[in-house]
Chains A and B, each alone.
Chain A
Amino acid sequence: MRHFFTLILFLPLLALAAEEEYTMQIKNHRFEPAELTVPADKKIKLLIENLDATSEEFESHELNREKVITGNGKATIYIGPLSLGKYPYFGEFNDATAKGLIIVK
């Protein structure tokens, strides 16, 4: 059992080795975490899980991305490689609450 937990602990490293992977959730029309810090000049694989029953559209003019994530659905979005800076994004279908920032350091 202890080995199992050790293995779980190291699992994220596997993902890191392949691609920089980040997970986000949508809950009550908000992104969690809303602010995400990612490294510069790297390709990022962003996994977004929508826990709401309604669809959302991840959109960012700065990142030049737009993708519909269905209610209780999942989506993969590739971003980058990005240069240093702050890249705002929002959920088009609920833009009053669903907004966030990708910070490239």
Chain B
Amino acid sequence: MFGTAVIVFREVLEAAIIIGIVAAATRDVPGRSRWIGAGLLLGLLGSALVASFTSQISELANGVGQELFNALILGVAVLMLAWHNIWMASHGKELAANARNVGKAIHDGASESSVLLAVIGIAVLREGSETVLFLYGIATSDQVGASTLMLGGLIGIVTGIAVGYALYKGLLRVPMRWFFSATSLLVLLLAAGMASQAAHYLIQADLIPALATPLWNTSAVLPEKSIPGMLLHSLIGYDASPAGMQLVFYVVTLVIIATGMKWINYQPSGNKLETV
């Protein structure tokens, strides 16, 4: 039962951390909770769908369909997070200072809602489909104690969600002065970590070179399966033995988004502060 709880916890944790951060970062988006709910629902439906078509997906593209699919949806999530961060860099401070042009905020909020929907949906879809396959295997096996194992799965789900919720609540307590910098930084690292994971799948599919295998190996010091390793993996994309190309993807994503955030701040925009 404990083993099952740990496996499910690991899957749920990753999604829960992403959702916790994104939910906190979009606290001012109107109608936000509806979009979060829709993202969760779509993600869960998608999980069941992907789980039932896993073997078909796997067989696509000469047996590397699973990798391509994962890399693709990770890529979409990275783009969405990048868009969110750059938008926040230009409007976040106004929203915080409550100096918002309501009409414009709602207009921008609409595009933010789709970011929220997509990122949450993708996070749930990725981790959910594996959890579904795993739990389905247990449920259909006739080994004794399958129900105890399912209980373990439930404990894993609840614990994972609890950590994500705690992160969300913790972030909301960050003083407004630092709130946007803090959440932007977390979203930035989240996006870079996802880009590194996308690279990992493309290397596994033999579509891009690994460059160095591995670049470093810290499995002995900080294994990815340990609690701190899992948290760091979800938060900043920590990998105990990454390929060189993963670091390239990580750094490039980091630099592009950070540059975009800086650039948009230096734009001579007329309606930035005059709406006070």
Contacts and interface: CB of A to CB of B under 8 A. Distances in A.
B145 interface: no
B58 A61 contact: no
Interface residues of B, number: 35
A6 interface: no
B225 A61 contact: yes
Contacts of B59: 74
A96 B214 CA distance: 27
Interface string B211-246: 001100101000111000000000000011111000
A102 interface: no
B33 interface: no
A19 B136 CA distance: 35
Instruction: State which size class the interface on A falls in.
Output: 20 to 34
Contacts of A62: 217, 219, 241
Interface string B57-99: 0110011101100000000000000000000000000000000
A64 B242 contact: yes
B7 interface: yes
Interface stretch (B19-27, B169-177, B200-208): B200-208
B141 A75 contact: no
Contacts of A43: 206
Given A76-B62, A76-B64, A93-B7, A68 B241 contact: no
B137 interface: yes
Contacts of B133: 55, 68, 70, 93
A93 B134 contact: yes
B202 to A, nearest CB: 11
B139 to A, nearest CB: 10
A53 B54 contact: no
B3 interface: yes
A92 B62 contact: no
Given A55-B54, A64-B243, 4 more contacts: A54-B138, A67-B67, A74-B63, A75-B63
